[in-house]
């Protein structure tokens, strides 16, 4: 998959493309529907399947909110690749880019740079200065510029539209099982294993201490699947400030149930399966160790039943 991370308005990707445009943060069920349409349309029309996405998130640049991203950009790109996308333009979202008129966005970006013959978007996609552009503008422009517009209807789960904003709220509340319903996959954070205080080892449960690259880190104790070198390992993860020992910075500490290798400095992923409990202070290290034993036993039962 070809990835371009700058936009100078020159033609890219050889022209004649099908383009899906959006932020695609989380690659949730709604995004997956758009990408399936993109790949199938490109195949049917002998076009190149291209995604136009943005970094950083427009809300961060425009200052309306400090949107916490569900995924890192590399996670997003890997999701595009897995979906069958052939090329991606990661447009640097700046105030200058945000100031493009609706006409300039269509003519210079979608048609001029990307050579779009088919444009696939979510039904709520907005673009151009002041977010004034929408589906109607694209359809009008398409009549003169010879491209077709395909709005994709949203996906609904549990009586509501699947959206990145709702998923962010769920993750911030630690509701990882509910978030997975809307994502269509477990929430995953990635990062490198770093040195820790060895507190877990003294309690009988040596942990891998992860320095996460993601922006949303749910708090609590979770059943997780730790991905090492592409292989998943059952695990229990504590995310919090360790109040039993006087609190401190937020730490991500993972105990792998059946893994004996050295993870120090390795990049791993944590896939969240279920929240076991909230973090709390215990009266002693011994009582904390007893709770950890209970957590690990619960994890063992879960993974034995579910084949982990």
Cβ–Cβ under 8 Å, residues 222 and 176: yes
Superfamily holding 186-306 = Riboflavin kinase-like (2.40.30.30)
Question: What pLDDT, on the 0 to 100 scale, is given for residue 200?
Answer: 56
- Report the CATH number of the 2-155 domain: 3.40.50.620
- Mean pLDDT, to the nearest integer, of 206-231? 94
Range from 155-164, 228-237, 278-287 carrying the lowest mean pLDDT: 278-287
Write the CA distances from 261 to 104, 138, 161, 228, 256, integer angstroms: 54, 54, 43, 10, 10
Backbone angles phi, psi at 99, to 5 degrees: -85, 0
Question: What pLDDT, on the 0 to 100 scale, is given for residue 258?
Answer: 86
Domain with CATH 2.40.30.30 in the chain: 186-306
Question: What pLDDT, on the 0 to 100 scale, is given for residue 290?
Answer: 85
Distance CA 58, CA 75 (A): 18
Residue given tokens 């034993």 in the structure block:
293
Range from 120-129, 174-183, 225-234, 277-286 carrying the lowest mean pLDDT: 277-286
Question: What pLDDT, on the 0 to 100 scale, is given for residue 14?
Answer: 86
Domain with CATH 3.40.50.620 in the chain: 2-155
Write the CA distances from 224 to 98, 104, 284, 303, integer angstroms: 39, 46, 26, 10
Query: Is the predicted pLDDT of residue 203 greater than 70, yes or no?
Result: no
Confidence of residue 207 (pLDDT cuts 50, 70, 90): confident
Question: What pLDDT, on the 0 to 100 scale, is given for residue 245?
Answer: 65
Tens of pLDDT, residues 231-248: 999 999 999 877 666 666
Cβ–Cβ under 8 Å, residues 251 and 191: no
Kindly report whether the peptide bond that precedes residue 20 is cis, defined as omega within 30 degrees of 0: no
Residue given tokens 């880190």 in the structure block:
217
Confidence of residue 204 (pLDDT cuts 50, 70, 90): low
84: region left, alpha or beta (phi > 0 left; psi from -120 to 50 alpha): left
- Mean pLDDT, to the nearest integer, of 55-74? 89
Q: Which two tokens stand for residue 291?
A: 């709770």
Query: Is the predicted pLDDT of residue 145 greater than 90, yes or no?
Result: yes
Query: Is the predicted pLDDT of residue 206 greater than 90, yes or no?
Result: no
Cβ–Cβ under 8 Å, residues 85 and 50: yes
Range from 50-54, 161-165, 188-192, 204-208 carrying the lowest mean pLDDT: 204-208
Strand duo 220-228 + 267-277: pairing: antiparallel
């Amino acid at each position: 998959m070809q990835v371009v991370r700058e936009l100078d308005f020159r033609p890219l990707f050889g022209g004649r493309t099908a383009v899906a445009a959006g932020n695609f943060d989380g690659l949730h069920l709604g995004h997956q529907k758009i990408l399936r349409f993109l790949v199938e349309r490109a195949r049917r029309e002998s076009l190149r399947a291209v995604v136009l996405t943005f970094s950083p998130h427009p809300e961060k640049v425009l200052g309306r909110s400090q949107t916490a991203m569900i995924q890192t950009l590399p996670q997003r790109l890997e999701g595009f690749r897995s979906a069958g996308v052939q090329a991606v333009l990661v447009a640097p979202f700046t105030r200058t880019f945000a100031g493009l008129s609706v006409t300039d966005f269509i003519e210079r970006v979608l048609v001029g740079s990307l050579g779009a013959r088919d444009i696939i978007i979510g039904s709520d996609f907005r673009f151009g200065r002041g977010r004034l552009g929408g589906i109607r503008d694209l359809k009008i422009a398409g009549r003169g510029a010879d491209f077709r517009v395909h709005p994709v209807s949203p996906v609904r789960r549990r009586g509501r539209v699947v959206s990145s904003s709702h998923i962010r709220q769920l993750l911030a509340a630690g509701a990882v099982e509910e978030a997975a319903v809307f994502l269509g996959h477990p929430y995953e954070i990635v990062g490198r294993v770093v040195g820790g205080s060895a507190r877990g080892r003294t309690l009988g449960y040596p942990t891998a201490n992860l320095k996460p690259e993601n922006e949303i880190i749910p708090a609590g104790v979770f059943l997780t699947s730790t991905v090492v070198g592409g292989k998943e390992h059952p695990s229990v993860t504590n995310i919090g400030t360790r109040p039993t020992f006087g609190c401190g910075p937020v730490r991500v500490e993972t105990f792998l149930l059946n893994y004996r290798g050295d993870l120090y400095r390795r990049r791993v992923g944590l896939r969240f399966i279920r929240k076991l409990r909230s973090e709390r202070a215990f009266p002693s290290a011994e009582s904390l160790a007893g709770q950890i034993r209970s957590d690990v036993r619960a994890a063992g039962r879960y993974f034995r039943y579910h084949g982990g």
